[in-house]
Amino acid sequence: MYQTLVTFPLKYFKSVEGINGNDIPSPRLPQSKSYLKITGLPYLQADDNKITSKNVTDFMKHIDLFENVSLATKPYIIKVSPKSDIAIIWFDIWDTQNGSKAKLLINHFFNLGHHIATVRATNMNPGVPQYHNCWKWDHSTFLCRAHGSQCQKCSSPHKLKHHRELA
C-alpha cells in the first residue's frame, strides 16, 4: 500500500490536465558553470570571414574531446590583439560542482584543420568590455577617442562622483 502511494503522485502530476508530462524535469545533480577558453585558432577562416560562435559550436559537436559537454552560453570570440590573426574563444559549460568535466578538458590539445588548439581554464567570462572613461562598449583604453572622462549617468564631461555638484 505504501509503495503505491509513493509512485502515485508522479503519475498523477503527469496526467493532470494542462501539464505536459515531458515538461517535468528528471532529477539530477546540482550543476555549476565552468569557465574555459580555447587558444591557438585563427581569427579568420579560409574564406577570409571571421570565426563565429556558430562555427565554434559546430566544430565542438564533431570533436571527441567535447562529446559530453553542454554549453551554458554561446562562445565569445575576440582577437588576441588588433594586428594578430589568432583568436581567443571563451565558453562556459555546465559542469558538476567539483568541476569534473572541466578537469577532463583543461590543458588538452585538439586539431582543427592544420591548427593545434589548446583548452585552458580561465576566470569568469569577461563579456563585452566597457571602458570606464567614456562608458562605451567593445573598445579598450588604447582605442578610445574621448578626450576626457564622461559621467556614467548624464554623459557630461565630468566623473560620476561629481555628478550632483555639476549636473
Residue 2, domain member (yes or no): no
- The dihedral through the CA atoms of 88, 93, 96, 100 has a sign that is negative
pLDDT in tens, 34-63: 889 999 999 887 777 888 889 899 989 989
Separation between Cα atoms, residue 70 and residue 88, nearest integer Å: 19
Asked which of 121, 141, 158 is the last residue of a domain, the reply is 121
Please tell me the pTM assigned to this model.
0.59
User: Averaging pLDDT over each range in 1-5, 100-104, 132-136, which range is the top one?
Assistant: 100-104
Separation between Cα atoms, residue 30 and residue 10, nearest integer Å: 21
Determine which helix (DSSP H) or strand (DSSP E) holds 37, and give its type and residue range: strand 31-42
* Cell matching residue 153: 549617468
Domain that holds residue 137: 128-167
Domain count of the chain? Answer: 2
Tell me if residue 149 falls in helix, strand or coil: coil
Verify that 112 and 165 share a domain, yes or no.
no
Verify that 53 and 132 share a domain, yes or no.
no
Nearest to 42 by CA among 91, 85, 80: 85
pLDDT in tens, 115-159: 899 999 987 755 555 666 666 666 656 666 666 677 767 777 777
Q: Which residue type sits at 1?
A: M
Verify that 114 and 132 share a domain, yes or no.
no
CB neighbours of residue 4 within 10 Å = 8
Amino acid 3: pLDDT: 46
Asked which of 85, 103, 121 is the last residue of a domain, the reply is 121
